[in-house]
Amino acid sequence: MRYSGACALLVSLAPIGISIAGADPAIRPGDHIAIIGNTYADQLRIHGYLETLLLQRTQGNPVSIRNLGWGGDTLSIRERPTNFPTEESALLAHKTDVIVICFGMGESYAGKVGLSDFRSHLKRIIAAHKGKKYNGESAVRIALVSPIAHEDHGELSRNRKQRNSDLAAYVGAMQQVAS
61 CB contacts (<8 Å, ≥6 apart)? 29, 30, 55
Domain 4-178 belongs to what architecture? 3-Layer(aba) Sandwich (3.40)
Delimit the domains of the chain by residue range.
4-178
Return d(Cα 32, Cα 30) in angstroms, integer: 6
Residue 104 — pLDDT band, cuts 50, 70, 90? very high
The stretches of the chain forming alpha helices (DSSP H) are: 4-18, 39-43, 49-57, 87-93, 105-108, 115-129, 160-178
Q: What is the pLDDT of residues 66-102, one digit of tens each?
A: 999 999 999 998 888 898 989 999 999 999 999 999 9
User: pLDDT, tens digit, for every residue of 124-174?
Assistant: 999 999 999 999 999 999 999 999 898 888 887 778 899 999 999 999 999
Q: Which residue type sits at 32?
A: H
